[in-house]
Amino acid sequence: MITVGVEEEYLLLDPGSGLPVPLAEEVRGSSGLEPVVDRREVQAELLQAQVEVATPVCTDLEEVGGHLLRLRHAVGAAAEEFGCRLATCATAPFRRAAPVPVSRQPRYLAMESQAPQLVAEQLINGMHVHAAVPDPQTGVAVLNRIRVWLPVLVAMAANSPLWDGRDTGFASWRTLIFGRWPVSGPPPYFDDLADHERRVQELLTSGIITDTGQLYWQARLSGRYPTVEVRCMDVQLRADDAVMFAGIVRGLVATAIRDEKAGAPVPRCAPELLHGANWHAARHGISASLVAPDGTLRSAGDVVHLLMEHIAPALEEAGDAREVGSLVHRLLRQGTPADQQRRALAEGGFRALTDLVTAQGTMP
């Protein structure tokens, strides 16, 4: 069984104005977090209006869901203690005129010096799924095989339509903001582990990046764990949708390992087509068409079904098929969290939107 772990990033919002508030240090230091949450499970993020949580290593999706609900509830309660609310939206719907201060870690301060405007606009939140791989060589093979599916995950996970109080026209504006860093977007194809290591070293030697943490590819080898880290998804309004993506990513990784062992052909996609598919997915979510792994434009529902067929044996083997299938069906019926944000804003205005993006943080 492939183990998984999930990281989620959240915003801290003022409940009256909906604006980000720089209270992350206070929330992380709350005595109310213990003993429910280990201090290592709640981490600082780039900006002081953000917090990140990380589950322990999990063997099944029920564990993932239990840990995410525990962490969301505890951090949400700590936020309430300091007069703010935890928000599970992937962009800040509204921003202050003055930038939110950067967390005082040396690495984050160096990033601010390197790219001040990018850092000031980094009020974005993702979810990262780590899936275990037996060794780095296998990890590179997995990256090569899952990269063509990443735009589908971007579309399904879209939860960031709003920016500066306006609809951006994109389902995942976070994807566009994050794509402005020098090493970002879908990962390239690598010949093998040696090719991967050589190209990463060239990026470091050139000074384009200062550490491997700045490899912001949407899927990458983790620098801390023996995992492939898939990081293209927006943070989810609901914890059970995050569980769904944990199951899908595990299914993709398991399928890639199986196909690699069987010597199946590696799906190839030109970088310009893959980047275009990624942009298209961020623009439309699942409301229109998507680019399938074979490069054809199809209805979003058809491409999601292709994904589910691709990973079906792995989902069955892990015992995840029923839960993941049910959640995917709900997603196709109700739309993405971006669709839900737009509906809330249209039907109830600013207050309904704020209630939507903050209510799920402490979902019982």
How far apart are alpha carbons 164 and 228 in whole angstroms? 34
Helices (H), the chain: 24-28, 61-81, 106-114, 116-120, 136-146, 150-156, 173-178, 193-206, 239-262, 271-284, 300-318, 321-334, 337-359
- Looking at residue 229, its amino acid is E
Asked, for residue 362, whether it belongs to a domain, the answer is no
Question: Which pLDDT value is given to residue 34?
Answer: 85
Asked, for residue 64, whether it belongs to a domain, the answer is yes
How far apart are alpha carbons 171 and 341 in whole angstroms? 10
Asked, for residue 363, whether it belongs to a domain, the answer is no
State the CATH number of the domain containing residue 167: 3.30.590.20
How far apart are alpha carbons 19 and 100 in whole angstroms? 10
Asked, for residue 364, whether it belongs to a domain, the answer is no
Give the C-alpha distances (Å, rounded to integers) separating 136 from 36, 128, 232. 34, 18, 20
- Indicate the number of domains in the chain: 1
CA 47, chain centre distance (Å): 17
- Looking at residue 182, its amino acid is P
CA 6, chain centre distance (Å): 9
Asked, for residue 179, whether it belongs to a domain, the answer is yes
DSSP class of residue 183 equals S
Which mean pLDDT values do the consecutive 10-residue runs of the chain (364 residues) have?
Answer: 97 95 96 86 96 97 97 96 97 92 94 94 97 98 98 98 96 97 97 98 96 96 96 98 98 98 96 98 97 96 98 98 98 98 96 90 48
Question: Which pLDDT value is given to residue 362?
Answer: 53
Q: Which of 6, 130, 123, 9 is nearest to 75 (CA)?
A: 9
Asked, for residue 108, whether it belongs to a domain, the answer is yes
Question: Which pLDDT value is given to residue 363?
Answer: 46
Q: Which residues contact 172 (CB under 8 A, 6 or more apart)?
A: 90, 154, 155, 157, 158, 159, 160, 161, 234, 281, 282, 285, 338
Asked, for residue 275, whether it belongs to a domain, the answer is yes
> DSSP states of 278-346 as a string?
HHHHHHHTTSSEEE-TTS-EEEHHHHHHHHHHHHHHHHHHHT-HHHHHHHHHHHHHH--HHHHHHHHHH
Residue 234 near residue 159, CB atoms below 8 Å: yes
Domain extent for 125? 4-356
Asked, for residue 361, whether it belongs to a domain, the answer is no
Question: Which pLDDT value is given to residue 360?
Answer: 63
Exposed e or buried b per residue across 315-332, where buried means at least 16 C-beta atoms within 10 angstroms of its C-beta: beebebbebbeebbeebe
